[in-house]
Amino acid sequence: MKIIVSGTPGTGKTEVSKILSDILGYKLIRINEFAKEKDIIVGTDKKRKSKIIDENKLQKLSKDIPDNTVIEGHLAHYCKADIAIILRTDPAVLEGRLKKRRWSRKKIRENIESEILDIILQESIALNKKTYEIDTTKKTASDSANEIIDILKSDKSKKAHLPGHISWEKYMIDLILQAKNKNKDHNLFKS
């Protein structure tokens, strides 16, 4: 079995994936390392200080990843796998985690918006993955890894973690108001 662990930066992918791969005795592949090894990094986004990975090549090359592997990264959901687990974190908590990384205000905001809007979850679903989501906000990495084990073993747990159970809707109004204030003259927000 190939298991994807994806999510917005700061949701706990790195730690959870390491623990999960240790519990299962699976190989761990980190997407950034895989992309470098396979020479599918096509540039650098200087504003975001991040590498740009060719997502189409990532999809194609990932079919050769062997079974009994955990695939980790915020683009891991582009890979071929049997199941995708998307880690989610309350945006207020996520903001604190990203500030500790000393990211720019703009990069933090972009990632918070991505989490609020379920971007990675929606991409995973659109790519026809068996997708489940876990809220890591108040959990340790071990708790989250064990929750993934439960999803693998139990239909009841699968059902409890189907997409749509986690919502950051309470943050949407703030996001809309911020956009409205930023774009006062934009027709989209005129009454």
pLDDT tens digits, one per residue of 141-165: 999 999 999 999 999 999 999 999 9
Residue 40 inside a domain? The answer is: yes
Residue 129 inside a domain? The answer is: yes
Residue 131 belongs to domain spanning:
2-90+118-167
Number of domains in the chain: 1
- Rounded mean pLDDT of the chain? 91
This prediction's pTM: 0.89
**CATH at 86:** 3.40.50.300
Residue 110 inside a domain? The answer is: no
Reported confidence tier of residue 183, pLDDT bands at 50, 70, 90: low
Residue 174 inside a domain? The answer is: no
Give me the helices (H) in the chain, please: 13-24, 31-37, 55-62, 91-100, 105-116, 119-126, 141-153, 155-160, 172-182
For residue 163, what are the CA distances in angstroms to 26, 77, 98? 25, 14, 24
Reported confidence tier of residue 191, pLDDT bands at 50, 70, 90: very low
Residue 132 inside a domain? The answer is: yes
Residue 30 inside a domain? The answer is: yes
Residue 58 inside a domain? The answer is: yes
pLDDT at 180 exceeding the cut of 90: no
Judge whether 82 and 68 are in contact, CB under 8 Å: no
